[in-house]
Amino acid sequence: MLPLEEIKDFLDFKVNQFNRIEFIEFDPISIPHRFTLKEDIEISAFLTATISWGNRKAILGAAKEMMKLMGESPYDFIMNTRDFKHKSISKFYYRTFNGVDYVYFLEGLRNIYQNHEGLEKVFNELTTNYTVQESIGYFKQLFFELPHSLRTQKHISDPSHGSAAKRINMMLRWLIRNDNNGVDFGIWKKISPSNLSIPLDVHSGNTARKLGLLKRKQNDAKAVAELDHILRTFDAKDPVKYDFALFGLGVIEGF
C-alpha cells in the first residue's frame, strides 16, 4: 500500500487531468451547463441529479427529455404552468422515477421558489444550523411538505437514515464548488466547499478501496464520513475535488 502522501500526489494529478471542461460532454453536469439563468441551472441540476443512476447515456437522454418537457426554460415553466399533470409530464419515466414523481418534483420546486425563496436560500438557512449532510435530511422534509405519494420520497436520500446520498451530494458539489475550470458552477456562495461531502458511488467507492482510503464495504453514510475524513486531510478547503479523480479512475481508466 502506498503512503498517504504518495496517494494524495497521485490523486492531485488525476484531479488536474479530469477536472476539465472537455470531460463534461457525457456527464450529467452537461445538462445544467445548457443554461445561464441561475434558477434554470439550479432546477436542472436538481432534477438531473435526481435521476443520475445507471447508464450515463440513458441518464442524459432522460434529463434532456425532462428539459424538453419544460420548454427548455425550467424556472419559467415551474413558476408559470398552472397544472403539471398534463399528458406529456405524466407519461415521463426513467427507471423507477415516473410521471407521478416528476409531477410532484415540479410542484415541490414551485413551492420552494414561491414560499421559501428558492433552493439556495433553503440550503443556506439549513446549513447555518446544521452540517451540509444534516441539512439534506431537513431539506427532504421541507421538499415533501405538500401532499404527495409516499413512493416519491425515495428519490431524495437522507444521510441521517444511513444513505450516502450520492445524487444530492453531487448536485451540491456542482452548485457550491467553483473550480475555475468551467465544470462546477460555484453559484451558491454562502456555503463553503470545505463542508461538502464526496458523492460516493460504486465507482468512486471501489477506487477508494483499491487505494486503501476506504475500509467500509458498503457505500453508505458511514463510508462517506470515513472517506471525507481522509480527503479533508488531503485538502481541507476543497475535499470533494477528489471526486473527479476517484470517479475518473474508476469509469474512464477502469482502475
* pLDDT of 252: 85
- SS3 category, 132: helix
C-alpha cell read off for 229? 475524513
CA distance 221 to 209: 16
Query: Residues of the chain with pLDDT > 90: what percent?
Result: 92
DSSP 215-235: --SS-BHHHHHHHHHHHHHH-
Mean pLDDT value across the chain: 96
Q: What are the cell numbers at 8?
A: 494524495
Which 8-state DSSP code applies to residue 25?
T
Q: Is the pLDDT of residue 233 over 80?
A: yes
Task: State yes or no: pLDDT of 51 exceeds 80.
Answer: yes
Per the structure, how many domains does the chain have? 1
Longest Cα–Cα distance in the chain: 59
- Stretch 133-145: mean pLDDT, rounded? 96
Q: In the predicted model, what is the mean pLDDT of residues 223-230?
A: 98
Mutual angle of helices 38-50 and 56-69, in 10-degree steps = 130
pLDDT above 80 (res 87): no
Give me the pLDDT at residue 222, please. 97
SS3 83: coil
End-to-end, the C-alpha distance of the chain in Å comes to: 15
Query: Given this model, what pLDDT does residue 160 score?
Result: 94
Q: Average pLDDT of 67-72?
A: 97
Calculate what percentage of the chain has a pLDDT beyond 70. Answer: 100
Express each pLDDT in 207-222 by its tens digit.
999 999 999 999 999 9
Would you say the pTM of this structure is higher than 0.85?
yes
- pLDDT, one tens digit per residue, over 180-205 is 899 999 999 999 999 999 999 999 99
Residue 3's identity, in one-letter code, is: P
Instruction: State residue 220 phi and psi, 5-degree precision.
Output: -130, -170
Q: State the residue range of the domain holding 187.
A: 4-251
